[in-house]
Amino acid sequence: MACAKLLLPILLLISFAFVAFSFRYGNPCDCESSCREYKGEAQVTCMRICKQICSEEPGIKPENPRRGEREERHNPYYFGKERYAHVAKTEGGNFRVLENFSRRSKLLKGIEKYRVAILETEPRTFAMPSHLDADELFYVMSGEGTISILYQENRETYEIRRGDIMMIPAGSIIYQVNKHQTERLRIAMLLCPVSMPGQFVEFMQAGGQNPETFWNSFSDEILEAAFNAPRERFERVFQRQSKGEIFRASDEQIKALSKSSKGKLGKPFNILNKRPSFSNNHGQLFEVTSDDYARLKEGDFDVSIANITRGSMMAPNYNPKATKIAIVVQGCGDFEMACPHVSRESGEEEERGREWGREEESEREWRRERGRERDHGSERGERRSERGETEGHTYSLVQSRVCRGDVFVIPAAHPVVAVASRDNNLQILCFGINAENNMKVFLAGKNNVLKQMEKEAKELAFNTPATEVDRLLNAQPESVFFAGLGEARHGHDQRHASE
């Protein structure tokens, strides 16, 4: 025992030195793998120090950022699993937060104040009460449980299950139970921090050694006066916990915590209980706006779920006003998006395309700068001017293979397509930001918006007879969800052969 007591400070010293070293010379944020070399308390300390060094946000670190992967280099809109950082991780579950959008790319500045997080808890567990300095919109991806919210001097307890969405105001104290016998409870969250744009922190109400509660930072005199109790009595309550933020609870406890109690916030809205906006053999689209769940108005959000049948695709479309944060709930697939901001050759994002409304002087200056940049590097501009093309109308394809938990950001106005893999159905959750009066515009299929053009406009625009244009626009008989690549080509070939 005495030996262990001596060993601990030595281990701590070593881990301090190691973190200091890797901070100077190596990748300072590759905490997880490096700290795993240590055991027990030393490992915990190593992780904590590393987190503090690596992150502006207390308790949040980037987990193994693997920069420079080919796919990501071409696509600042894609966030793979390694772009989440664990805020809490215990045997009972984990809470992880996606990398800050604007830190990833300046192209995501429009949504910089928002964050995405995922909470996963194991069957028959309790998640400790805490509050965040962020408004929250959540979606239950799988499982079932109960959520209790202490809000305006009341407790509201609601059952939650797959398909539920709910808005929770910043500062509400929340605790949760996974009451299922075998299934994990998985919750996706869109967070809107209220004090620092794009940064939030969690305040643990209860705790002890693990998790630590904010109460422990107050002075003894203040605590004794505030609770009107001696320090020892306070410690008996606020320093006992050592099981972490999420841990197993007994059947009786879970049963007791599952009793509903209604209040001002109102119960969650189940998106999958709503009639789908579109449905055919190739997929279903469920959409919820503030017309269905009024509290979405508080954040100007909407929520949608697209179920794309294996091998099928969602029609090319864009969102006129909303930026969509797409999170893969189930399955794998591909996103393709046309983007004028990302350079094809260098794979780097750049401020490209004509920005209408610039002051003339600054536009000239901008063009001069662009010219200089071109002299140094990219030959694209020269090639383009040789071909007599004007600047401002080139689009790059950004594409990503996505699987469960991956995030793909679809900025407003950007045409996008999602395709399910051949093996599994693809389920995509979309949190829409700036959502009011956003009606998806479809660019192919039966409800292709271009069909509305007059014959003359089609001929002028496409420089081809309108019959030819119509033949193309009318070839796809389905709307919203289509047969996927292989299937569609197969069908086309068959039709072609029979013609």
What minimum distance in Å lies between the beta carbon of 396 and Cu ion?
8
CB 167 within 8 A of CB 136: yes
What minimum distance in Å lies between the beta carbon of 201 and Cu ion?
31
What minimum distance in Å lies between the beta carbon of 438 and Cu ion?
17
When asked if residue 115 is in the footprint of Cu ion (CB under 5 A), the reply is no
Which contacts of 102-108 are long-range, i.e. CB under 8 A and separated by 24 or more positions?
102/198, 104/76, 104/79, 105/76, 105/77, 105/349, 106/349, 106/351, 107/76, 107/77, 107/341, 107/342, 107/349, 107/411, 108/76, 108/77, 108/409
Instruction: Classify the C-alpha dihedral 70-74-80-86 as positive or negative.
Output: positive
Residue 136-155 contact track with Cu ion, rule CB under 5 A, x = bound? --------------------
Instruction: Classify the C-alpha dihedral 249-253-258-261 as positive or negative.
Output: negative
When asked if residue 282 is in the footprint of Cu ion (CB under 5 A), the reply is no
What minimum distance in Å lies between the beta carbon of 316 and Cu ion?
15
When asked if residue 341 is in the footprint of Cu ion (CB under 5 A), the reply is yes
Q: Which of 343, 347, 341 is nearest to 70 (CA)?
A: 347
What minimum distance in Å lies between the beta carbon of 353 and Cu ion?
8
Which is nearer to Cu ion, 186 or 352 (by Cβ)? Answer: 352
Which is nearer to Cu ion, 343 or 378 (by Cβ)? Answer: 343
Sole binder of Cu ion in the list 116, 174, 265, 339 (CB under 5 A): 339
Which is nearer to Cu ion, 71 or 375 (by Cβ)? Answer: 71
Which is nearer to Cu ion, 226 or 413 (by Cβ)? Answer: 413
Interaction with Cu ion in 15-44: which residues (CB under 5 A)? none
What minimum distance in Å lies between the beta carbon of 274 and Cu ion?
31
Which is nearer to Cu ion, 303 or 342 (by Cβ)? Answer: 342
Which is nearer to Cu ion, 223 or 339 (by Cβ)? Answer: 339
Which is nearer to Cu ion, 105 or 290 (by Cβ)? Answer: 105
Q: Choose the binding region for Cu ion from 121-129, 315-323, 333-341, 432-440 (rule: CB under 5 A).
A: 333-341
What minimum distance in Å lies between the beta carbon of 394 and Cu ion?
11
How big is the site for Cu ion, counted in residues (CB under 5 A)? 2
Which is nearer to Cu ion, 266 or 415 (by Cβ)? Answer: 415
CA 91 to chain centre: 23
What minimum distance in Å lies between the beta carbon of 55 and Cu ion?
28
What minimum distance in Å lies between the beta carbon of 341 and Cu ion?
3
- Any residues with CB less than 8 A from the CB of 269 and at least 6 apart, and which? 164, 165, 166, 288, 292, 293
Q: Choose the binding region for Cu ion from 133-141, 298-306, 339-347, 361-369 (rule: CB under 5 A).
A: 339-347
Q: How far is CA 464 from CA 48, 133, 190, 387, 451, in A?
A: 65, 57, 46, 22, 15
Q: Which of 176, 94, 89, 184 is nearest to 142 (CA)?
A: 184
CB 447 within 8 A of CB 480: yes
Q: Choose the binding region for Cu ion from 3-11, 59-67, 259-267, 331-339 (rule: CB under 5 A).
A: 331-339
Q: Choose the binding region for Cu ion from 81-89, 228-236, 244-252, 335-343 (rule: CB under 5 A).
A: 335-343
Q: Choose the binding region for Cu ion from 38-46, 129-137, 270-278, 338-346 (rule: CB under 5 A).
A: 338-346
When asked if residue 104 is in the footprint of Cu ion (CB under 5 A), the reply is no
CA pair distance 387, 374, nearest whole angstrom = 16
User: b/e for 254-264, b at 16 or more Cβ within 10 A?
Assistant: beebeeeeeee
Which is nearer to Cu ion, 318 or 431 (by Cβ)? Answer: 318
Which is nearer to Cu ion, 112 or 133 (by Cβ)? Answer: 112
What minimum distance in Å lies between the beta carbon of 431 and Cu ion?
19
Which is nearer to Cu ion, 78 or 286 (by Cβ)? Answer: 78
CB 151 within 8 A of CB 313: no
CB 143 within 8 A of CB 252: no
Q: Which of 415, 411, 410, 450 is nearest to 315 (CA)?
A: 415
What minimum distance in Å lies between the beta carbon of 108 and Cu ion?
10
Q: Choose the binding region for Cu ion from 133-141, 153-161, 340-348, 447-455 (rule: CB under 5 A).
A: 340-348
Which is nearer to Cu ion, 339 or 483 (by Cβ)? Answer: 339
- Residues near Cu ion, by CB under 5 A: 339, 341
